[in-house]
Amino acid sequence: MRFSLSISFLVSILFVVSGCSSLKEGVWLISTPYSNGGIPSVFNHTEDITMYDFVLTRKGDSVEGLVVVKSDGENSKRIVMTSFFGMTFLDFELDGKNIKINYCIEQLNKEKIILLLKKDFEILFKPDHSPLTKYIFSPAGKIEALQQGNGITRTVMNFNRYIDGFPQEIIISHPWLGLKLKLDKNESNEN
């Protein structure tokens, strides 16, 4: 009896720990009206070029710069992350399924980092990227937050400051990795 109580207690702790930084109030995709498509977008695919200021933070260290996204339809994107001072960090393309790396600095050139960024941007461009996603919607029906996956690669996204139907601030977190990518819409378009 005492042993099974201890096990139950440990299992409860595990559930509590795994539930940290999770969308407790969220609803699964299948429970939304969007289980067959039509989920509200958090990215404006009609803009040819979209720019965000970004801050990538991990355990107190941060890197900042600009993310430039070139859209060629909903499924074809080219993403370049560059510093404000001119240096390109990463240049890759997504087609909805595959990633093609055009350039990557040595410090970011690790498979796990690349696959993590791939997944994050795929979710950004298609919030119903996976059925295993939970959402919180605002009263106006916009996505306020979503969570996909579990364990070490869990992705949590928060969408703030909606203007003209799209969030101006996007925060992408990987709680277990201590990694956060903050995107702020940059309105100074290409010159």
Partner 1 sequence: MKQEYLKKYVSILSLLSLIVLIFSIDSYAQNGNTMTVKDRESFIKILSGRAASVNTLSAEFRQTKNMEMLQNDMISEGKFFYEKSNKIAFMYERPGKYSMVMNGSFIRMSTKSGSSVMDLSANPVMKQMNDLISAVFTGALDNMSVNYNVDFELNGDKIFALVKPKSTRISAIVSQIKIAFNKHSGDINEIVITEGSGSSTKYIFYNQIINQPIRNEIFTIN
Q: Which of the ranges 11-19, 62-70, 111-119, 138-146 carries the binding residues for partner 1, by CB under 8 A?
A: 62-70
Q: Is 85 in the site for partner 1 (CB under 8 A)?
A: yes
Q: Is 91 in the site for partner 1 (CB under 8 A)?
A: yes
Q: Closer CB to partner 1, residue 45 or residue 78?
A: 78
* Count of residues that bind partner 1 according to CB under 8 A: 25
| Cα–Cα distance measured from residue 53 to residue 66, given in angstroms and rounded to the nearest whole number | 5
Which residues on neighbouring strands pair with residue 56, listed in sequence order? 63, 181
Q: Which of 18, 21, 102, 150 binds partner 1 (CB under 8 A)?
A: 102
Sole residue written with tokens 């699964």 = 28
Residues 6+ apart with CB under 8 A from 71: 45, 46, 47, 48, 49, 50, 77
| Cα–Cα distance measured from residue 31 to residue 175, given in angstroms and rounded to the nearest whole number | 25
Q: Which of 84, 111, 139, 151 binds partner 1 (CB under 8 A)?
A: 84
The 3-state DSSP composition of the chain as helix, strand, coil percent (nearest 5) reads 25, 40, 35
Q: Closest separation between CB of residue 121 and partner 1, Å?
A: 15
- The answer to whether 168 and 187 have CB atoms below 8 angstroms apart is no
Q: Is 47 in the site for partner 1 (CB under 8 A)?
A: no
Q: Which of 87, 115, 132, 152 binds partner 1 (CB under 8 A)?
A: 87
The residue count of the chain comes to 191
Instruction: Catalog residues that contact partner 1 under the rule CB under 8 A.
Output: 49, 53, 55, 61-62, 64, 66, 68, 70, 78, 80, 82, 84-88, 91, 102-103, 105-106, 188, 190-191
